[in-house]
Amino acid sequence: EDFIGIEIMANQTTQTGPLTDALSEFEKTGAFSSTHYFYVLNTYIQIKTFFTQAVVKGNIFEAWSKNLVWVMQDVLFDNWMERTDFRLSSQQDGKHITFAILSLNFDSSISQYRFSLRERLFANCGEIIEVYSRKEPPEISVFLRTLVHKMNGG
């Protein structure tokens, strides 16, 4: 028997109820009644969770010589790329980890959102670990300035 592993990652919120209420309102009225709803995207938490899973599961699938496919929402993937200098390959070349990046686009002809494949990229587990290992730490003055800014509500 042959198989692949498939993981699906999308951005998540801290409070799903208000998000669901806002989307329901928009579907019914075509507009939002508020400029602010009480939910926050947990993008960085999603990236940290994904990284741990990618390393652990990537090692297993590579040891088995099987493929692991990460289906990722484009905004989550793009945020991950902005935080690292990771350069994924467009060629599989024996790599067992595939990233299928999906975009969510509105199709006005049917008045629905549809997913479309934006791109497929490839890596091995060592490359994922290495991108986090080579990141230069910030200067301590930059760290302290950022810390003070955040402590003051910024």
Q: pLDDT tens digits, the chain, 154 residues: what are they?
A: 688 999 888 776 666 677 778 888 888 888 887 766 666 667 777 888 888 888 899 999 999 999 999 999 898 899 888 888 788 899 999 899 999 999 988 888 998 889 999 999 999 988 888 877 766 778 899 989 989 998 988 7
CA distances from 35 to 22, 32, 41 (A): 10, 7, 16
Res 120: pLDDT: 95
Helix (H, G, I), strand (E, B) or coil at 26: helix
Q: What is the pLDDT of residue 99?
A: 93
Token pair recorded at residue 101:
């990046």
| DSSP secondary structure letters along 104-131 | EEEETTTTEEEEEEEEEEEE-HHHHHHH
Strand partners of residue 107? 112
| H or E element that contains 101 | strand 97-107
What does the pLDDT read at residue 85? 76
Closest residue by Cα to residue 72 from 117, 107, 129: 117
State pTM to two decimals: 0.70
Gap between the Cα atoms of 41 and 19, Å rounded: 10
